[in-house]
Amino acid sequence: MEEVLFAINGVACLAISAALLFCVVSPRVDDGIVMKIGLGCMSASFGALSYHLSDGLSVGEERTIERVLLLLTIGVALVAAPKIYQVVRHPGDSGFEA
């Protein structure tokens, strides 16, 4: 059962990585450079996670998973940064009115 869960999670992470990579290279996704870097970080982290889940996790891979999660966190922060900047800089134009 554990192998099936690793396989499902690995395939899901690979699909997420491919979708994020498509957003990075697609000219139809009109983002700034900060968001492209963030999406690239997120794509790389999901790709690395998929790679490590493909053969199951061994006992000594906690550091690897921590590094993958750090890369994912950096990516999420970079994707969120432009919107946070817009809300702080121009509160009326943010689209978050109550």
pLDDT digits (tens, 9 = 90+) for 22-55: 988 888 877 888 888 999 999 999 999 888 887 7
Report the predicted TM-score, pTM, of the whole model to 2 decimal places: 0.80
Residue matched to tokens 């492209």: 36
Q: What is the pLDDT, as a whole number, of residue 5? A: 83
Encoding tokens for residue 49? 């996670």
The predicted pLDDT at position 62 comes to 82
Give the model confidence (pLDDT) of 42-88 as tens digits: 999 999 988 888 777 777 778 888 899 999 999 999 999 888 888 88
Q: Which amino acid is at 1?
A: M
Buried b (16+ CB within 10 A) or exposed e, 5-15: ebeeebeebbe
